[in-house]
Amino acid sequence: MPIAWFNGQFIDDDAPAVALRDTGLLHAAGVFTTMRARAGRVFRLTHHLARLRASSEALFVPLKYSDAELASAIDEVLTRNNLADARLRLTVTRGQSTQDPLHGTHLTPNCFLTATDLQPYPATYYAQGLTVLLNDEQKLNPYDMQAGHKTLDYFSRLAALREAVRRGAGESLWFNVHNYLQCACVANVLVVKDRTLITPPTPEELRDPDVAAACPYPRSNVLPGITRGAVLELARRDNLAVRVAALNVNDLLAADEVFLTNSIMQVMPVGRIEKHAVGQEVPGPVTQRVMDLYQEELNEGDGR
């Protein structure tokens, strides 16, 4: 029986734990992060926890455990489940809400961690590139307070991903209400044009006056992905040209290379945007270099 960590205790993964009145269940009031463990270590764990804590504070989701306690729980869950290469999810909900006559609303938050065997994407995807769709029916609202945070409200994204799979693709690309590219359903998007790596800005990056001045929209839905951040850092260290800038559909279709990033897929080349071929429909030279740099970083670091 898989073992999970729930509010400081280790329990059976399928044991009932969350109250029926938990606001995470009723209102999707919560945040999470998905992590990938390799050889028993989570790559850039401190970055995952920092992002989770920042979102918790921004969205009034109490996170009462320290980073050290969460890191210890991750190690123990991997050990108890005898997992080395794993997919982990750390979730925080606002918990049950009760009314205190003296102090107003009182929350009893929940924090839990699950781990499963890693089911990697097929090797052919990395060799031939993924096919992605353009999501024309739904637009992201950058003025929503949840924009740029990884919240429990994922139904729209999963519905779009399901439609992409139904149509023979592996992902779907999202645009904001101003029709500028933001992300995929569960990944960040980066393009290469004239050997320059370009990606849409996150809310934090839009606070840079130079980025903001060149961006035609004032707010962003782009999640500050952990893998995205690592890729940008590694690219700059390798003297690859990097630019954070707005991208429209014409920029996307004119790109020499396109790839996606998240903690599970890592660096995923895109070979086709619907029927439009991207480059030679195989990983381009910059994408391949980024893939190599990322793997080197995984091999050299201890994951923290």
Tokens representing 181?
A: 């590219």
Residue spans per domain, the chain: 3-117, 123-299
- Which class does domain 3-117 fall in? alpha beta
Equal CATH topology for 3-117 and 123-299:
no
pLDDT at 107: 75
- Which class does domain 123-299 fall in? alpha beta
pLDDT tens sequence for the chain (304 residues): 899 999 999 999 998 788 888 999 999 999 999 999 999 999 999 999 999 999 999 999 999 999 999 999 999 999 999 999 999 999 999 998 776 666 656 678 999 999 999 999 999 999 999 999 999 999 999 999 999 999 999 999 999 999 999 999 999 999 999 999 999 999 999 999 999 999 999 999 999 999 999 999 999 999 999 999 999 999 999 999 999 999 999 999 999 999 999 999 999 999 999 999 999 999 999 999 999 999 999 988 654 5
**pLDDT, mean over the chain:** 95
pLDDT at 140: 98
pLDDT at 101: 64
pLDDT at 58: 97
pLDDT at 97: 75
| Angle, helix 226-237 to helix 285-300, in steps of 10 degrees | 100
pLDDT at 180: 98
pLDDT at 18: 87
pLDDT at 290: 98
